[in-house]
Structure 1
Amino acid sequence: MVVTVMMVGFLRWVSVVSLLAVVFLDGFIISSSYAAFTPVDNYLIACGSSQNVTVDGRVYVPDTQSSSLVLTDQGSSIVSSNFLAPSPIYQSARVFPRPTSFQFEIRQSGRHWVRLYFYPVPNSEYALNSTLLTVVTDDFVLLNNHSLKDQNRPYLFKEYLINVTSDHLSITFVPMNGSVSFVNGIEVVSVPDDLIVDQVPQVALSTPFVGIPTLALETVYRLNVGGPRIVPMNDTLGRTWENDQKFLYYNDSAKVESVDPSTISYGEVVSPEIAPNWVYATAEIMVNVDVANVIFNITWSLPVDPSFLYLIRLHFCDIISMALNQLVFDVYINSYSGIAGLDLSRQTNVLRRPYYADFVSNVSSGSPFINISIGPDTTIMDVSNATLNGLEIMKMSNDARSLEGSLSVRDIYSGAEKTKKKLTVIVAVVLGIVAAVLLVVLYYCCFAGPRSKRLRRAHSWLPLPLYGNSHTISKVSTISQKSGTASCISMANSNLGRTFTFQEIMEATNKFDDALLLGVGGFGKVYKGTLDDATNVAVKRGNPRSEQGLTEFQTEIQMLSKLRHRHLVSLIGYCDERSEMILVYEYMANGPLRSHLYGSDFPPLMWKQRLEICIGAARGLHYLHTGATQSIIHRDVKTTNILLDENFVAKVADFGLSKTGPALDQTHVSTAVKGSFGYLDPEYFRRQQLTEKSDVYSFGVVLMEVLCSRPALNPVLPREQVSIAEWAMMWQKKGLLSHIMDPYLSGKVNPASLKKFGETAEKCLAEQGVDRPTMGDVLWNLEYALQLQETSSLNDPDDNSTNHIADISVPHVHPFDNSMSMINGAHSVTDDDAEDLTTSAVFSQLVNPRGR
């Protein structure tokens, strides 16, 4: 096995070296073959330079010598040749002490590359390496307080694709916080209009993403899969393509395949402007197609900012088959089916002809990565290989028309103006304080000093306690001993739950015994614990390597301390001792609802049980939407976030993605899309506008999941059955929902109850939020479906099972009853304080079912 791996690595190295040699030998032929596209607008600017700069065969002119470029403020020019720069473009820079714009004349409207080069040129006047970069165009924020210190290399290169609709384009550099801004090089180059299409399929959703031309895009990754680095002179659009190897999840899962680039045959759909033939002439394929387990995928894992949507472009070309119809494979994006049974022969009709596919997606739930996988189509036994030639990932601007942060262009300018005014105020205040101090010193020296000396000779004062009385000292000392790191939380507010010592947590969980492990979430591991009074609890211990930190930990405590309801999982307390971040919740003995529907050995739930569980969850969500001054949107409603206690009472959990709802004068909250695929409101995904109706849609998916006892998404099923929402709606509209429900329920469900349940779910899954009911209406309809079931003439022999919810005495609650539960005899605050709730990123799911 070791020898095989070494051979694969050696062959990969030999292939890359060979390709590099061919690139250098045939450079002239390649560059000449790529001369088809000539951009109308082609600005290559060397900022701060006094002479032309040549990089990769392209000539950059000084920013003061272009007749079609206006610089509103020349600022300062820095030129240095006494350091080793990664490229000649970084030898000079233009520095701006105030907001300054480069205004380019645009002769052809449409999409343009905007490329920016930054390198802190060494000089004695400015500390450019500590500069925070903020760059905007007329409509979009490109960089917002971006620190060069956060880079893993000293220079910064950014590439954007912007649709310019006027006769000029302004790129403005905005110094922030009293600092300066700078830039080394700028490119503004037009590209073909058909490079990016308007409508693109959305991963895990049936509706396409519409309106891409109105957005700005930022290149995050552009990979030549299996091939060497391609420089701009070998690409018709001046792009750079990097090698993919460092992004392979398993380096030894793939091997390089290559052909002569001249054998690549472009058709009518794909041109060299989509990607050069060097991309299509190399590929990664499976190392061993004869493995016993044919489900053997190649995966690329690429870290991204999880708060944005991404345009993903995959490049394919069959360079490995000897004949047509020998290569059929599946493509997955974030574990969801992107293309099932991709047959390149059917798409191109010939071998070695390029093909590409676009998708819009966000990251995997709870993970800041985009994962691209390819694997053989397991339905075809004699085909067992897969290939990928190129990969591009571009970040899409958000509702604020920004590619970094949530501030708009107007917000950026407003912030810069406020900073300027603030600096003026600070200078005035400092001068005032200095003057006041001088006056006090003068007064003391002339009058108060001599008088105090006379008084000290006349009186003998007793010293006062330094820290207050002994009771105060004892109290502070006790608290410090119990929680040595951040007991200030409990001191500031005594209504945040119990503060546990780390020793108490260790004893409750038997030193975090793996035998007590309940699950793993994005925040960390969850253990079952037992307190001194024999109370069972769920203990969630933060993972230091988690993306979620102290701020979210404190916000989680503050949020959950204000939410108390019979159908919401309660926070009991926390521990912040010894740099630990630990949350303690009430223990839910029967775990997540999902485990009782499929994927486990639990006995199936009766129909009446399922209805009562759905009613309990609906009550919890209805309380979130209406029980406070400002509503709270859960944003991640799914069967793993509905937990069941020992009596099968349902409680909503995991508020990690929760968001305060819109104010009274607003209809929605504009925010980046977050949630779980399969449950996402398509309207929210498409418009990035969040409302309470987004929870209603997700709950509709839960209802269908409860009825059919199958996952919300199942990529292994036929295409029309992958999404339970689409599949169940198809049968509901036919009036044949009983055909797909859990076979265990056959003959045990009152048809009237099923009809009402199906109608309720159908309304929840309406395409437009305005057509969906409120959670109060959903709750009323589910209670009505339960009444229909209880009046049924069906006699279910299992209706009196020991774990049936009917055995519990639960008073009927009207859907609009917002009463609060009692915790330790005190009412929890849920109205006025609810306005202060903010999004929490800590309350990760107690059980995290890992996808494919």
Structure 2
Amino acid sequence: MMAGFIKPDSGNPYVGLSPNSHIVISGNKMGKSNESILYNSARVFKDTSTYKIKTREVGRHWLRLHFCPVENPHYNLKFAVFSVKANGFLLLHGFSLSKSGKKSCLFKEFIFEGGGSSSEKLVLTFVPSDGSLAFINVIEVLSVSEWQFPSEAVSVPLGPAIDIPTHVAFETAYRINMGGPLLTPKNDSQWRTWEPDQSFLVNAAAARNVSVNPSLVKYFYGVSEEIAPNWVYATAQEMADANIQYQRFNISWAFEVEPMFTYLIRLHFCDIVSTSLDTLFFNVYINNQSALESFDISSKTMELSTAYFVDFVTNVSVVSNRILVQVGPSNPRYSSTNAILNGLEIMKMSNPSDSLVRNPRPDSKTPTPKKWVLLAVTSSVGFVVLVLISAALYLYLRHPKKPRQQSSVWLPLDIHVGNSDSKVSGGSFASTSHSLSPGHVIAFSEIREATKNFDKRLILGVGGFGKVYKGVLKNGVVVAVKRGNPRSQQGFTEFRTEIEILSKLRHRHLVSLIGYCEEQDEMILVYEFMAGGPLRKHLYGSSLPSLTWKQRLQICIGAAKGLHYLHASAAESIIHRDVKTTNILLDENLTTKVGDFGFSKLGPTLDQTHVSTAVKGSFGYLDPEYFRRQQLTQKSDVYSFGVVLMEVLCARPAINPSLPREQVNIVEWAMNWKKRGQLEKIIDPHLVGSVNLESLLKFGETAEKCLAEFGTDRPTMADVLWNLENALQLQEASIQNVSVENTANHIPDIPEWAPQIETAEGDGADSIIYQESDTITASGQFSQSMDPRGRYSARGSL
């Protein structure tokens, strides 16, 4: 991380300033505090002047500008009028402290992309208005981690996710600590200031402050103190009459903003009020539009007192100048109701003219518009025209991105599902409306009959999308029915993605889709029934017979064939993005099929190396390079499959917090034993004495390559498949040639580790990104750290 304060009179070598265009003035000493010292002098510009600040890192940077008029007999800086530009963005125009009301000093914070090489600098320009001056007291520059800002956000009103281009600037409008005190830069690793929320509450009587010790706050995988300090998550506003039945009011906050701009709104959540999981459900509204429905924080974090955040994008029209944020009970009929919010950030986004200023005067340089769909700012040609333009551009923003052209080599299937009125595209897959036959939509009444009105005794499992039931259709076909949970945030996008993929793919090792239902706001998917259930149940946590080593190899080979087909054999490469043992299903003959394509994404085209997208996946299986860079490739699936291989070998979860610290993460733990050349010490005890050593070594070598730190060092799924088949051949050869000579190739030793299994209903790694930040130890090259930067190295031994 690169950070720095630039004092105007410091002569900093990283600053280049136009000569003869400025002077430095000092005022009376105001005190001994750091702020007083910083504000005791200013650089004054008589003409257009430019700072050229070298940055050490490529990417986004915080830029913080401090303005405080130094008392001087020759210059009245309070009435100085000027503009500020940075790297082609217009940050301020006609700015003057005289317009700030009672505030004597002002602080402005911006975020935008900066250079990283010696030839690229952060170029900051001050332009005095005619007959006036410009000035600055302090400049702060701080690099921003690439995962700290989203590549996409939820659209409000609800619609397709909005991509956030890298070439967009932000101006911080508000940063609020709900239910807590003022947090100064001393309380924040990013030197941010968090205001208390009392002055923004619409009805203070509706809210009640709650707090816990900040040390109790845990950070979810993908969230760290760089997102927000634990002080923010340790306080919240909850409903004043929490847990009283039939509550119908919301807690509301109102924020004045500049109209005709798009705003990024980040909401921070941490359930510090519940005593158990899955008990706090509430709704979130932005500008009276639904943003989250029946939101359950614990379903995302899997723990209480764990930090989480959600990003939204909304537009403020010409007729409005505020953003209203509300939280309230999801259903007043529940026996107890509550809603909370811990923190909030609102950031104005630059318009297509690269400006953070509405309607700058003609003397301002107008940058070239960029080709991304954010609300354009037009010249004032009358109120009615502005309203019409605003409405048109608003609809344009909400229109889904043009989907990738569907390849003509997709083969029609004898089973089609779909609906001509697709609600969500999201840019991930081509629209299916022209190819799906409504004749294979299954009526809700038939599904209800097939599942005996969704009898709880027919539940096969529970996942992030909802419950899965066993059913029998009218034609006698046994099916698996996945019914979307109305409280699930995975929702319609995942539902549609599964239809779009599985209706066009057929492979022996991919789960087949029979049909779907959208009646009565239902989201139901009907698949072929896999009698063997998920692979995980055959490895641990159930009373099923233990799989032999040969069976495990055959199952892994089947899964590898399915993934290889997705990556290389389908008309367009598809990345599964959620490979794990609960998404590898078995039939009654233990034939393997890969399922659950809700997170899947089209792979890169021939002229691309990756797909830039927000991070999605399951904790314990997530490729750390994808998480760090938000760049998705087929090698991300390879990494996840490497975790599956280790799970198959050791018969234990990918992450098990109940184990000793050094055993919590299967990747770290197994790779330590692999580097010692003692992988046989940690295999499933049921396999002892039955695994050929050469087969084990080939299997371990394959898993190790899959888990390489960088995607370029990992094999393709074709290579993985070849190596697994080789491991199977070695195992079969040893069985066919049992003799005194080869008995030494078997493993007689009892493992030093025995798995500790906790049986639980459903999927233990339920399509989330989750962190046990205080239970993981990284070790060496293969550590899959819980650090938000992806991986790190540290000394240590088991």
TM-score, with length taken from structure 1: 0.48
Residue identity matched to 1:787? Q
Task: Tell me the CA shift for residue 679 of structure 1.
Answer: 1.6
Deviates more, 1:500-509 or 1:67-76: 67-76
Identify the residue that residue 741 of structure 1 maps to in structure 2: 683
Residue identity matched to 1:529? G
2:708 corresponds to which of 762, 766, 769: 766
SS in 1 for 2:656: coil
Deviates more, 1:711-720 or 1:307-316: 307-316
Deviates more, 1:610-619 or 1:718-727: 718-727
2-structure distance, mates of 1:311, 1:88: 31
Task: Tell me the CA shift for residue 564 of structure 1.
Answer: 1.0
Identify the residue that residue 448 of structure 2 maps to in structure 1: 506
1:168 corresponds to which of 106, 109, 124: 124
Aligned counterparts, 1:190-205, within 5 A? 190=138
2-structure distance, mates of 1:743, 1:411: 66
User: Do 1:215 and 1:396's aligned partners in 2 also have CA atoms closer than 8 Å?
Assistant: no
2:548 corresponds to which of 603, 606, 616: 606
**Cα–Cα, structure 1 residues 73 and 697, in superposed 2: closer, same or farther, change >3 Å?**
closer
1:721 aligns with 2:678: no
SS in 2 for 1:624: helix
2-structure distance, mates of 1:723, 1:553: 31
User: Do 1:497 and 1:561's aligned partners in 2 also have CA atoms closer than 8 Å?
Assistant: no
**Cα–Cα, structure 1 residues 717 and 234, in superposed 2: closer, same or farther, change >3 Å?**
closer
1-structure distance, mates of 2:763, 2:187: 49
1-structure distance, mates of 2:347, 2:513: 37
SS in 2 for 1:519: strand
Task: Tell me the CA shift for residue 675 of structure 1.
Answer: 1.5
1-structure distance, mates of 2:346, 2:304: 15
2-structure distance, mates of 1:253, 1:788: 64
Deviations 1:156-205 (A, max 9, x none): xxxxxxxx94341699xxxxxxxxxxxxxxx9985667x7798999xxxx
Task: Tell me the CA shift for residue 612 of structure 1.
Answer: 0.8
**Cα–Cα, structure 1 residues 139 and 167, in superposed 2: closer, same or farther, change >3 Å?**
closer
**Cα–Cα, structure 1 residues 215 and 580, in superposed 2: closer, same or farther, change >3 Å?**
closer
User: Do 1:486 and 1:577's aligned partners in 2 also have CA atoms closer than 8 Å?
Assistant: no
1:65 corresponds to which of 72, 80, 86: 80
SS in 2 for 1:583: strand
Residue identity matched to 1:756? K
Task: Tell me the CA shift for residue 686 of structure 1.
Answer: 2.4
Residue identity matched to 2:458? L
Identify the residue that residue 370 of structure 2 maps to in structure 1: 413
2-structure distance, mates of 1:540, 1:509: 11
Identify the residue that residue 618 of structure 1 maps to in structure 2: 560
1:560 corresponds to which of 496, 502, 514: 502
User: Do 1:312 and 1:393's aligned partners in 2 also have CA atoms closer than 8 Å?
Assistant: no
Task: Tell me the CA shift for residue 534 of structure 1.
Answer: 2.5
**Cα–Cα, structure 1 residues 509 and 784, in superposed 2: closer, same or farther, change >3 Å?**
same
User: Do 1:226 and 1:243's aligned partners in 2 also have CA atoms closer than 8 Å?
Assistant: yes
1-structure distance, mates of 2:520, 2:555: 39
Aligned counterparts, 1:84-95, within 5 A? none
SS in 2 for 1:791: helix
2-structure distance, mates of 1:610, 1:667: 33
Deviates more, 1:590-599 or 1:409-418: 409-418
2:194 corresponds to which of 240, 260, 264: 240
Aligned counterparts, 1:456-605, within 5 A? 492-495=434-437, 498-550=440-492, 552-605=494-547
Identify the residue that residue 367 of structure 1 maps to in structure 2: 300
2:570 corresponds to which of 628, 637, 653: 628
Residue identity matched to 1:168? L
Identify the residue that residue 4 of structure 1 maps to in structure 2: none
Deviations 1:638-659 (A, max 9, x none): 1111111222111111112211
User: Do 1:662 and 1:668's aligned partners in 2 also have CA atoms closer than 8 Å?
Assistant: yes
Deviations 1:423-463 (A, max 9, x none): 99xx9xx9xxxxxxxxxxxxxxxxxxxxxxxxxxxxxxxxx
Task: Tell me the CA shift for residue 527 of structure 1.
Answer: 1.6
SS in 1 for 2:38: coil
2-structure distance, mates of 1:42, 1:588: 72
SS in 2 for 1:578: helix
Identify the residue that residue 672 of structure 1 maps to in structure 2: 614
Residue identity matched to 1:500? I
Deviations 1:714-747 (A, max 9, x none): 2343443332112212222222110111111111
2-structure distance, mates of 1:534, 1:369: 38
Identify the residue that residue 466 of structure 1 maps to in structure 2: none
SS in 2 for 1:518: strand
2-structure distance, mates of 1:308, 1:396: 20
How large is the RMSD of aligned CA atoms in angstroms? 6.1
1-structure distance, mates of 2:609, 2:463: 32
Residue identity matched to 1:367? K
Residue identity matched to 2:565? Y
SS in 2 for 1:414: coil
Deviations 1:791-819 (A, max 9, x none): 214899xxxxxxxxxxxxxxxxxxxxxxx
Task: Tell me the CA shift for residue 522 of structure 1.
Answer: 2.6
Instruction: Provide the aligned length of Structure 1 versus Structure 2.
Output: 500
2-structure distance, mates of 1:618, 1:627: 13
Identity %: 50
1-structure distance, mates of 2:503, 2:37: 62
SS in 2 for 1:526: strand
User: Do 1:732 and 1:758's aligned partners in 2 also have CA atoms closer than 8 Å?
Assistant: yes
SS in 2 for 1:540: strand
User: Do 1:307 and 1:672's aligned partners in 2 also have CA atoms closer than 8 Å?
Assistant: no
User: Do 1:217 and 1:394's aligned partners in 2 also have CA atoms closer than 8 Å?
Assistant: no
2-structure distance, mates of 1:611, 1:334: 42
2-structure distance, mates of 1:34, 1:189: 13
2-structure distance, mates of 1:411, 1:641: 47
Identify the residue that residue 808 of structure 1 maps to in structure 2: none
Mark the structure with the bigger radius of gyration. Answer: 1
Aligned counterparts, 1:316-395, within 5 A? 367=300, 373=306
User: Do 1:138 and 1:170's aligned partners in 2 also have CA atoms closer than 8 Å?
Assistant: no
Residue identity matched to 2:629? R
TM-score, with length taken from structure 2: 0.51
SS in 2 for 1:792: helix
Task: Tell me the CA shift for residue 624 of structure 1.
Answer: 0.3
2-structure distance, mates of 1:764, 1:640: 19
1-structure distance, mates of 2:346, 2:647: 33
Identify the residue that residue 38 of structure 1 maps to in structure 2: 38
Structure 1: state its 5+ residue gaps. 1-29, 45-56, 82-86, 91-111, 117-135, 141-163, 172-186, 202-213, 257-282, 286-297, 317-332, 336-362, 375-390, 404-408, 431-481, 797-844
SS in 2 for 1:537: strand
Aligned counterparts, 1:215-226, within 5 A? none
1:779 corresponds to which of 717, 721, 726: 721
Task: Tell me the CA shift for residue 229 of structure 1.
Answer: 3.8
**Cα–Cα, structure 1 residues 704 and 846, in superposed 2: closer, same or farther, change >3 Å?**
same
1-structure distance, mates of 2:541, 2:628: 31
1:228 corresponds to which of 155, 172, 181: 181
- Greater helix share, structure number: 1
**Cα–Cα, structure 1 residues 591 and 504, in superposed 2: closer, same or farther, change >3 Å?**
same
1-structure distance, mates of 2:346, 2:688: 48
SS in 2 for 1:678: coil
Deviations 1:232-263 (A, max 9, x none): 9999968234489x9xxxx999976xxxxxxx
Task: Tell me the CA shift for residue 496 of structure 1.
Answer: 7.2
Task: Tell me the CA shift for residue 781 of structure 1.
Answer: 1.2
User: Do 2:511 and 2:528's aligned partners in 1 also have CA atoms closer than 8 Å?
Assistant: yes
Task: Tell me the CA shift for residue 114 of structure 1.
Answer: 4.1
Task: Tell me the CA shift for residue 557 of structure 1.
Answer: 1.4
Deviations 1:47-98 (A, max 9, x none): xxxxxxxxxx9889999833574797999999xx9xxxxx9689xxxxxxxx
SS in 1 for 2:520: coil
